[in-house]
Each structure stands twice: as C-alpha cells, then as structure tokens.
Amino acid sequence: MSSRRGATTLRGVLPVDKPAGMTSHDVVDQVRRATGEGRVGHAGTLDPLATGLLVVLIGSYTRLEPYLSGARKTYEARIAFGTSTDTDDAEGEVVDAAAVPDAVLDPHAAQTALDALLGDSMQAPPAYSAIKVGGRISHRAARAGETLELAPRAITVDAAELLRIDADARTWDVRFRVSKGTYVRALARDLGLACETFAHLGALRRTAAGLLTLDEASDLDDIVAASAEGHIAALFTDVVAALGLPVVEASLAEVANGRSLDTGRFSDLPEGALASVLADGAFHGVYTIVGGALVPVSIVGGTA
C-alpha cells in the first residue's frame, strides 16, 4: 500500500459491464470505494440509460485515457419511432408525436435509411449533453429552460446494421460502429426526421470500445467481491492488447529517468507514431517518435 492517501499499488485496465440507471461517474466511485484507490477514471462516458462496456482505468493507468477514449465504439441500439423527447432518449419527456409511415416498418427501406448515415458528417449534439458553452454545461442549461447554441461536431458512422424490426412496438434494433463523440441519441433523433416522423433512443448497449469487447467485462458485484478477496487484478485486461500499438522492448536501465530510446529498434515507425514500451517485459508506458527518437509521453511503470 502506498503511503499517499487514496493511492494503492493497483494499476490496470478494468472492463466493466455498466448496469442501467448508473452514471459512468457512479461506476468510477464504486470501483474507487471497492479498491481504496483514489485514482480511478474511465475512457468514454455512457449515459445512465445505457448499459455495457465501460473501460475503467485504475492507478497510474488513468494516464492512458487519451489513447483509449478515442477508439471506435460499437453499440446495439433500440430506436423507437413515433415520438421525440427533450433528451432524445427514453429518459426524457415526450415533446412531439406523429404517425409512423408504413415504410419505417419495411426492412429494405429501414436499411436504406441507415445506409444514408454512413461516412463522415456534422452532427448536432443533443441539448441534454455535457458539452460546455462559455463555461456552462448544456444539460444544466436545458433543465433550467435555456437553450445553448451547440456547434455541430464531425462524426463518422462506420456501420449501421439493421438487426430487427418490431412492427407492434414500432422499433428498430440497430448495430452501430461510430467514432468518438458520436451521440447515438442524436442518430435516433435524425433517423426519425429522415423517415418523416419522430424517433428517440429506447435502449443502448455498448458492446465494444476499440479492441476491447463486452465479453471481457465484469459485473460490478463481481468486481466488488474480487476486490474484497484481494484478487481484483485478475479482472484486469491486457493493457498492451487494449492499446493495440506497436510494441518496443527495452530494459529498465534504458528507460530510467524518462530517457528516450535510440532508433535502432523501431526504424519502421513513422514520425509521430505511438508505441507501447515494455521494460524488462512489463508495460512501462506510451512513447512517440520525435526527430528519430522514441520519446516518452505517458509513463505508467515504476512507482504506481
């Protein structure tokens, strides 16, 4: 145990299967309490409505958030047609309603509408979001009855696959693969308008984040139990595999005191490329190529 308050020797990447009704911050707090480690964060927020893969970072591995949060995310979403809500999901109040055209319940027409989302576009974020404008948080302003002007953001939809149509419930189940910063709630909203009705997000489950999948995730109850029994580290995933970066091996002596590494072992990496550096076989940190040298940008090895 470290002598620093709120710090332990724990460090790792912990995939969590987030339950509905909890914020991502709630999950972080529960892991923090279970482990006694104050340095706990996550890579990619999930709304309270959403379930599924939340990548939690523990100890010095919180420094890896920039390299994990930017990964592509895969979701299974339920889109409910006929009504829109103020939050663009099922947690909000209904603000508009309209008849659902028959074409919405036709699989070919539905997939055609989904195909129109593919590629790069500019997305208008939901009013109920954590985006800040002039220091003010959008969802707080919206709850106070104010509307902030949110700038559209560049997003990419790599895949939008229709899984199922429920004609009675007037819903689609869709698998999306999207870039960082994409609001699936907003995709649901925009699909409703494109189909000449209204729609909102009925349910959402994240099944993958970059190279990590939901199959690797643990339930919170299992995490709390494992922590109490002293073997929570068994639930951590392989950080090198999670990052998916080229691997460079070195000795502890070579990386001591933040030293750069020579070019001999990574001549095939271009300027600006990132790499995972192992020191004596253990993950040490993320480095980048600068001027022909491998320079540390995020060190997590050594003292936690």
What residues act catalytically?
Answer: 47
DSSP class per residue in 168-193? TTTEEEEEEEE-TT--HHHHHHHHHH
Angstrom distances, CA of residue 226 to CA of 10, 22, 230, 239 = 13, 20, 6, 19
Tell me the C-alpha distance between 23 and 51, whole Å.
10
Exposure class string for 280-299: b at 16+ Cβ within 10 A, else e? eeebbbbbbbeeeebebebb
For the chain, what is the largest distance between any 2 Cα atoms, rounded to a whole number of angstroms?
69
Strand 171-178 versus strand 94-97 pairing type: unpaired
Tell me the C-alpha distance between 97 and 90, whole Å.
14
Provide the terminal-to-terminal Cα distance of the chain, rounded to the nearest Å: 10
